[in-house]
Amino acid sequence: MPLLGRDVVLVDALRSPFGRARSDGLYAHTRADDIATAVVRDLLRRHPELPTERIDEVAIAATSQVGDQGLTLGRTVGLLAGLPGQVPGYAIDRMCAGAMTAVTSVAAQVAVGAADAALAGGVEHMGHHPLGKDADPNPRFLTERLVASDALVMGATAENLHDTYPALTRERADAYAEASQRKYAEALAAGHITPDLVPVGIPDPERGWGLATADEPPRPGTTVAGMADLPTPFRPGGRVTAATSSPLTDGATAALLTSADLATELGLAPRARLVSYAYAGVDPALMGLGPVPATRKALDLAGLGIEDLGLIEINEAFAVQVLAFLDAFDIPDDDPRINPYGGAIAVGHPLAASGIRLMSQLARQFEAHPEVRYGLTTMCVGLGQGGSVIWANPHHAEEKENQR
């Protein structure tokens, strides 16, 4: 029984290669909306069965909605990508869960019959728009002690997790980060990453035009020994280092969602079926705990338990945040269900774009594991939130039977 009405399916999810957010990074001279446009165009190109006039909505997220990430991205990116003028669009901001929220927002529209097909996406050019630049937090947050003084610094909230839960040691975090880099390198070598990447044309004032085809942030060969002497930038003598944090990243993602009936009508092959989703708030000073209550809510809505999830994609904002999730559900650090292709510690975290990267990786894993019926995408969100989406695998025998 679908959660909200009609069954909603993820037809496809793609992303740009991710670049390092710095002056010599992959996208240093590329506009954020151009990266997003390239991904949306390729998504449409891969699905000619869907007439563009059948698209009912475009929702694109960004955390910093200024400059080349402003002007109602859903509408502007839709026009830049060549969608007909009658296709509307809007912008979303839920910080790190922007693209995830774009997906669940348009999915709800599809579920209740307000739309049949929709595009969702996210983009973040942290090289152009560092997190919090030009923001003006209300002084009441601190004067009235609404949040802790360090709650607006994400790295500080990761240190707070280490403080609050002594079992979350630096040794575990370092080992987890090493594993993330290794798993990403193995997945790349096995051909599991590149199929969902969209090549993006990139200008350079000195070298002319180039083409972004691969992720820039990964550091293959990273070892725990190599992390030992790294500084702890968020606190003297702390436990969070650059190696156990996601790097500052530029990139974009996009997804196509439709009703199951429209997918059947047009001959579109779904990569996942939405089962349930939920968002939850937590103490902003312990931001990384957000995925725990969000996942519990999503599981309750779906009538499932954590043991029913055969694959789990959790955004690695910080290694300690993932470990807190694992401990909350009594999951071992090396459980093979967790981020089989590595995560944001290796590939990067372009804030509002990352939620759909989780979905594209889960969809790729669904294809490789038809024995798995249910999977999860989950992430922590700045200012103390979490978001979780449970998906069903269309390649599973019982899902295939239900499609008949």
Active-site annotation, residues:
96, 349, 380
CB atoms within 10 A of CB 57: 23
DSSP conformational letter for 276: E
CB atoms within 10 A of CB 329: 17
Q: Give the Å distances, CA to CA, from 325 to 13, 252, 290, 380.
A: 25, 26, 9, 10
Query: Of 228, 215, 120, nearest to 173 (Cα)?
Result: 228
In whole angstroms, what is the distance from residue 26 CA to residue 215 CA?
A: 9
3-state secondary structure of 150: coil
CB-based contact 253:360 (threshold 8 Å): yes
Query: Of 391, 375, 369, nearest to 312 (Cα)?
Result: 375
In whole angstroms, what is the distance from residue 33 CA to residue 77 CA?
A: 6
CB-based contact 316:339 (threshold 8 Å): yes
CB-based contact 342:276 (threshold 8 Å): no
E strand or H helix at 138: none
Query: To the nearest 5 percent, what fractions of the chain are helix, strand and coil?
Result: 40, 20, 40
Give me the helices (H) in 112-193, please: 140-143, 154-164, 170-189
In whole angstroms, what is the distance from residue 315 CA to residue 271 CA?
A: 20
CB-based contact 97:60 (threshold 8 Å): no
Q: Label the pairing between strands 117-125 and 57-61.
A: parallel
CA 322 to mean position of chain CA atoms: 14
Query: Of 310, 311, 334, nearest to 322 (Cα)?
Result: 334
